Structure 1
Amino acid sequence: MSFPRPRNGRPSGSSGSSRSSSSTDPLIASGLLCQMKDREKYIETFNFPYCNNVGKYEKVVKIGQGTFSEVFKARDKKDRTKLVALKKVLMDNEKQGFPITVLRELKILQLLKHENVVNLIEICCTQASQENKYKPSFYLVFDFCEHDLAGLLSNANVKFSLGEIKHVMQQLLNGLFYIHSNKILHRDLKTANILMTKRGILKLADFGLARAFSVPKTGQQNRYTNRVVTLWYRPPELLLGDRNYGPPVDLWGAGCVMAEMWTRTPIMQGSSEIQQLLLISNLCGSISTDVWPGVEALDLFNKLELPRDLKRKVTDRLIPHVKDTYACDLLDKLLTLDPKQRVDSNTALNHNFFWTKPMPTDLCYMLSQLTQSMFVYKESSHRPGHTRAAHSQQMARAKPSSTIVDVNQDRVF
């Protein structure tokens, strides 16, 4: 028995569904288009509460670039004398909304109000439009600071007297004492993240890696990430895998910054985590249970062949540059291997270094002689590929090596 062949070459049962599909497809497409246009219109007219439009500020020049942000010097359009710093949050790779790290930074900055901590004025955004693919940009607005410490130290014409160095370090330690008292760790202390106003006021900046900390209960430990702090300023406990740490990680960075006030360049410039540990050992002595009880419990201590029988040389290496015995003694205490024995900010502020002549000297006069702002980012336009900030970021991302290269050359001393 044979069936009649359809005239159009298709199964006879498909003709009705074909007509139905062809008639409804345009309706579905039209409906989706309307939904899309309604969505775009909603986004274009939506205003974020508590966020002003960034158009109230006029960008002057770009002064900073990081992995997660760009920083611009800007001027208030209504008050032309008012300068601010606009920190643009980069969200090109974000697929799950606003970055959680920025939310953490905002919460911390709203909590901290101190003369030596950068001041967050407000949060601004751009209007969503077709031009920006309906993705508004968000900006953190700060009081403008004319310089960062890295930019000042990279300029050979800027010379700090001993009294001025004391004032810089006094303000830095005051800022650290304040944030630690409020249970906040900075976790990225370096000269590029220390700002200076033209009046000589130091400001701790860039809290993008900061977090709140707590004292663990008996028998428990914190489990913070140890992938923090730019490599050249990273303390030995983090390099050995410690995840139960606290304020001493910032004090190690303060010691590195203090030494840099004389050497004008980072004192330990490792190209990997392993080499950084070697440089630390060459300067601060071998890492062992004798000088650091409990270090054997850290994950990487028994997995690495660390150098042995190296003597501590912090004072010997630094005295030719520093030439102040009290300064060398404080540096020795800040660059202590065992974080439990490392001096805290309160004790450091009471050190004889700050209470002997010359006393801490105001920086206002020295900085008033400078005719332009100095930021380490601006240096990159003159020396591509050779800025400390760019290299530090590159080094911080370097993967650990499985072997230690015996490098005895000293890149500073």
Structure 2
Amino acid sequence: MDGYEKLEKVGEGTYGKVYRAREKATGKIVALKKTRLHEDEEGVPSTTLREVSLLRMLSIDPHVVRLLDLKQGQNKEGKTVLYLVFEYMDTDLKKYIRSFRQTVEKIPTKNVKSLMYQLCKGVAFCHGHGVLHRDLKPHNLLMDRKTMMLKIADLGLSRAFTIPIKKYTHEILTLWYRAPEILLGATHYSTPVDMWSVGCIFAELVTTQPLFPGDSELQQLLHIFRLLGTPNEDVWPGISQLPDWHEYPQWRPQSLSSAVPNLDADGLDLLLKMLHYQPSKRISAKMAMEHPYFDDLDKTYL
């Protein structure tokens, strides 16, 4: 790690701390993700190797944060530490949204459109390569404020779902962006869980407020049901068979425009398709890119 000079800690990632650092030879600013290794394992854990090989493969897409290098080092106790070296991005979508929340201004429509298109494009790329993110949220979407370039980060929890889908652990996603099938205990889920998150992020970009800010799994479901109506077998066949399905208060669906008032008809149509209860009917990232909402967007450099 002598080739890098740590500048400051910028956060905690899935596997460890993240630092802003300078590559001494070039002066280039990078992000170092320090991963904790289990002491009892021989060599590098397979989870880390899986993350690295996935990231290497996905790094070719402009909307996935680039993995530049991998370094092995020792900490003060003499234990092995792995450093993943990523390109450095100056902000993330969470900070970007927050900067507007503090003013009366809304995020310009063309910016919302550009960011959403890039997000759909990055997600389509991951899904096309058999990778599910499962933790999409504004904090995990890095961006460059000057160019408005958006990149998906923290794919550490993704698993290649081209391998037969095993039971996933529940406690992964931040509640606000968590798909209802996961909240209801589904153990076999797929790409639509990411599209639900994309929909929640879309609404938040438009209003600068989270769409479903639940603070427990039950509260989260009730937030969703209050807006979209309490689902049943008619709108979502098989829902009553999900492990955590109970009898819930019965709400009628509200108009989405009441929750996201400054979104045009095309935008509301796209959002509704992302927030479809039945996962198999939810719009895919690839289809979302073709939606009329993006027709007037200049996609030349996206």
Alignment map for 1:379-398 (pairs within 5 Å): none
| 1:284 aligns to 2:232 (yes or no) | no
Say which of 172, 182, 189 aligns to 1:238.
182
| 1:187 aligns to 2:134 (yes or no) | yes
Larger strand percent: 2
Residue-by-residue CA offset, 1:166-211 (whole Å, 9 max, x unaligned): 1100000000111101010001000000011242221110011100
Residue-by-residue CA offset, 1:55-91 (whole Å, 9 max, x unaligned): 21111222112453111111111112x1111111134
Q: 1:56 to 1:215 in 2, by over 3 A?
A: closer
> What is the one-letter code of the residue matched to 1:307?
P
> What is the one-letter code of the residue matched to 1:316?
S
Say which of 345, 348, 358 aligns to 2:285.
345
Query: What is residue 264 of structure 1 aligned with on the other side?
Result: 208
| 1:333 aligns to 2:279 (yes or no) | no
Aligned residues: 296
Give 4+ residue runs of structure 1 displaced > 4 Å after superposition: 360-364
Query: What is residue 150 of structure 1 aligned with on the other side?
Result: 94
Say which of 117, 125, 129 aligns to 2:72.
125
| 1:255 aligns to 2:203 (yes or no) | no
Residue-by-residue CA offset, 1:99-118 (whole Å, 9 max, x unaligned): 44322211210221201011
Alignment map for 1:138-217 (pairs within 5 Å): 138-156=82-100, 160-197=107-144, 198-214=146-162
Query: What is residue 68 of structure 1 aligned with on the other side?
Result: 15
Which structure 2 segments of 5+ residues have no match?
none
Q: 1:282 to 1:141 in 2, by over 3 A?
A: same
Q: 1:101 to 1:312 in 2, by over 3 A?
A: farther
Of all paired residues, the percent bearing the same amino acid is 39
Structure 2 Cα separation of the partners of residues 67 and 281 of structure 1 = 30
Query: What is residue 25 of structure 2 aligned with on the other side?
Result: 78
TM-score by length of 2: 0.91
SS at match of 1:109: helix
Query: What is residue 35 of structure 1 aligned with on the other side?
Result: none
Q: Does the Cα contact within 8 Å between 1:63 and 1:73 map onto a contact in 2?
A: yes
Q: Does the Cα contact within 8 Å between 1:56 and 1:76 map onto a contact in 2?
A: yes
> What is the one-letter code of the residue matched to 1:110?
R
Query: What is residue 55 of structure 2 aligned with on the other side?
Result: 109
Query: What is residue 41 of structure 2 aligned with on the other side?
Result: 96
Query: Which structure is larger by alpha-carbon Rg, 1 or 2?
Result: 1
Structure 2 Cα separation of the partners of residues 314 and 181 of structure 1 = 33
Q: Does the Cα contact within 8 Å between 1:164 and 1:360 map onto a contact in 2?
A: no
SS at match of 2:5: strand
Structure having greater relative contact order (Cα 8 Å, sep ≥ 6): 1
Structure 2 Cα separation of the partners of residues 134 and 214 of structure 1 = 38
TM-score by length of 1: 0.67
Say which of 303, 317, 338 aligns to 2:258.
317
Q: CA RMSD in A?
A: 2.3
Q: 1:108 to 1:280 in 2, by over 3 A?
A: same
Q: Does the Cα contact within 8 Å between 1:153 and 1:264 map onto a contact in 2?
A: yes
Residue-by-residue CA offset, 1:278-319 (whole Å, 9 max, x unaligned): 111111110210110111221111xx23222x1222523234
| 1:58 aligns to 2:5 (yes or no) | yes
